Structure 1
Amino acid sequence: MLPIYYINLDSRPDRRAFMEAQLASLGLEGTRVSAATPADLTPEEVALYCDGRKPRYLRCKELACSLSHERVWKRMVTAGNRWALVLEDDAELSPLLPNFLESLGNFDTDLIRLEATGPTIRVFPPIANIVGIGLRPFRSTPMGSAGYVLSNRAAKLLVGHPAFRQRQTDLALYNPFDEPGASIRRVQAVPGLCQQLGSMRPDKLSIGRSDIAPVDEPHLYAKEHPLRYRLGRLREGLTEGWRNARDHFASKKQGLTRMSIPFADGTWTGSDLIPRPPAARRNGGPSAG
């Protein structure tokens, strides 16, 4: 079984107990990695990446989230892990997860996103089916980094990458157009094998609720230069929209479609089987982007 790491704030022993109990109930063992907090950021990091007077910036808690994931990637590289499962401490795990992890074998990719999504994402037809779980290359940038399997090659690429000082963790990790996401072979598990609790489970509200107080970090640049800020956002939106539209229509020939990723809870009975490839695709599968 591949190594499992879960990120946990020192101030949240309840979440630690939640994750340990979940893993134990599934016959799994995880290694806790202490999460970074805004208090761990150096004054230099705050000045460089979290300054609201700049056109683009990260909130301190967003940068701390990326640094937390980076701590896991560094441990993977140091330990020489070929693969590892990375979890956040509010991830609800599917009962299908152990069998999936045990059956991965030599499947060749860089990242397997395990998280279920409410909003639809753009996916290609499945390129593999492991114990009823389809693995689909995807072209969206889904929100959420609660659970993913990562290769050692990808971990080495991600450690210290400047994108994680400029964009939120998931926006840098899954973006199919910009680095480092563009260089990572990524697939989405269908159905999802974990989901963030948030407010989805009334009986787990205390676990799902973050205890990092929402700090008022106003974007001073937007307030001081409203017209310049809005024009910049409009220009970025038009550029990204045109790029996404061109990519979408070009990729439809490879079977690209939109779907919502369900969570494989204890009642899941479906599967994401590999369909017979049409003639147009017999000479080559889709690119993960």
Structure 2
Amino acid sequence: MKNLVINLDRSPDRLKHCHKQFGRLKLDFERVAAVDARGLSQSELDNIVLHKDWPKPTNSEFACFMSHRKCWEILVASTDEYAAIFEDDIILSDSAADFLESSDWVPADVNILRLETFKTKVYFKRWWRLQIRDRHLLKMVGFHAGAGGYIISRRLAVSLLKETVNYMPAPVDHYLFDPGCEVFANNIIFQLVPAVCAQEQVLSAGTLTLGGNIEDRSVVNLIQKKRGSLSGGQKMLRELKRGVYKLKRLAVDKRMIVDVQ
């Protein structure tokens, strides 16, 4: 299994950080030159088809999506069945090597599996879990932010590459891990619990040494904008549906924060 790390040419400090992270675990990785938002031309951006229900991504989000897409291309061109993809501000736990040395432990029906946590409450299937060594795999039923560390299968990478030719539905973490996007609808999204990595901003928010990854997020105010556009009747209907939804969640799903270990 390949370990691919996305890194900008103008971020040698982040590359040095990755060499330390992987080096202390005696793991190899392949650097993938990230697409630089500063180098995107307007013609490139204008040729990308957007999803009608999502706000237009920022240039940084465009570049991030394209960078992950490069990783999917590398996997498809290789002989590996899986690749672990990381952003260059990732912090690996001491036990990460047990899950990154090979993909032998990955169940055959898994297409995408989150290795990281964003330390936010996420919904999972309450009654389903699979023991994997000293951890569990859970099935996600709610959005879990971030695309700093995940495993993807060759078969899913082939599909995603076909779907995203000149098309960007949403920022890459939403595209992969948001129930509002097709990847979530067409695949079971698995989460390794406890996680084996997290981005620096999650673990060391008060003492960042690498800086933020993407500062200008297009979806920050998406929910607030939708709420503000509802009529009185629509708001009442929304509250009724929300009540039913909460009862269903209480019985079927479990909301929890994934720790890192």
Pairwise TM-score range, normalised by the shorter structure:
0.7 to 0.9
SS at match of 1:148: strand
Q: Indicate which of 126, 129, 144 corresponds to 1:127.
A: 129
| 3-state secondary structure, aligned to 1:32 | strand
Identical columns (%): 23
Q: What is the aligned counterpart of 2:141 among 139, 143, 153?
A: 139
**Residues 38 and 154 of structure 1: CA distance in aligned 2, closer, same or farther (over 3 Å):** same
C-alpha displacement at 1:67, in angstroms?
A: 0.5
Give the aligned CA root-mean-square deviation in angstroms.
3.5
Give the aligned residue type for 1:136. Answer: L
Tell me the secondary structure at the aligned position of residue 121 of structure 1: strand
1:121 CA drift (Å): 0.2
Distance (Å, rounded) in 1 between the aligned partners of 2:38 and 2:133: 43
Partner of 1:73: 72
Instruction: Decide whether the 8 Å contact of 1:126 with 1:136 is kept in 2.
Output: yes
In the aligned structure 2, how far is the partner of 1:203 from the partner of 1:250?
37
Instruction: Confirm or deny: 8 A CA contact 1:8 1:16 kept in the other structure.
Output: yes
Where in structure 2 are the equivalents of 1:160-239 lying within 5 Å? 160-162=162-164, 165-198=168-201, 200-201=203-204, 205-207=208-210, 209-210=211-212, 230=225, 234-235=229-230
Change in Cα spacing, 1:183 to 1:248, as seen in structure 2 (3 Å) is: farther
- Give structure 1 stretches of 5+ with no counterpart: 223-228, 265-289
Matched-pair contact (CA < 8 Å) for 2:87–2:147: yes
Instruction: Tell me the CA shift for residue 106 of structure 1.
Output: 4.0
Whole-angstrom CA distance in 1 between matches of 2:244 and 2:47: 34
1:30 aligns with 2:29: yes
Structure 2 counterpart of 1:110? 111
Structure 2 unaligned spans of 5+: none
1:262 partner amino acid? D
Matched residues in 1 for 2:225 and 2:81: separation? 45
Give, in angstroms, the shift of residue 191 of structure 1: 0.7
What is the CA-CA distance between 1:210 and the residue it aligns to? 3.6
Residue 254 of structure 2 is matched in structure 1 by 257
CA positional deviation for 1:38: 1.4
Instruction: Flag as ranges the 4+ runs of structure 1 deviating above 6 A.
Output: 237-245
Distance in 1 of aligned mates of 2:147 and 2:254: 22
Relative distance call for 1:263 and 1:61 in structure 2 (3 A) is: same
Deviation string 1:65-124 (CA, Å, 9 cap, x unpaired) is 100100000111111320110000001011111213445154421111111132200011
The separation in 2 between residues aligned to 1:240 and 1:5, in whole angstroms, is 42
Using structure 2 for the length normalisation, give the TM-score. 0.80
Q: Distance in 1 between matches of 2:79 and 2:23?
A: 25
Q: Is the 8 A contact 2:140 2:188 kept in 1?
A: no
Q: Which amino acid aligns with 1:104?
A: W
Instruction: Return the TM-score normalized by structure 1.
Output: 0.73
1:20 Cα deviation after fit: 1.4
Between 1:142-151 and 1:31-40, the stretch displaced more is 31-40
Counterpart CA distance in 2 for 1:62 and 1:245 is: 34
Matches of 2:239 and 2:5, distance apart in 1:
35
Q: Is 1:92 paired with 2:91? A: yes
Counterpart amino acid of residue 145 in structure 1:
A
> How far is 1:156 from its partner?
1.1
CA distance in 2, matches of 1:216, 1:128: 34
Letter in 1 for 2:119: G
What letter corresponds to residue 141 of structure 2 in structure 1?
A: R
Of structures 1 and 2, the larger Rg is shown by: 1
How far apart, in 1, do the equivalents of 2:259 and 2:185 lie?
25
- The residue type paired with residue 113 of structure 2 is I
- Alpha-carbon contact 2:174-2:181 (below 8 Å) kept: no
Residue 200 of structure 1 deviates from its aligned partner by 3.5
Q: Identify if the C-alpha distance between structure 1 residues 203 and 59 changes in structure 2 by more than 3 Å, giving closer, same or farther.
A: closer
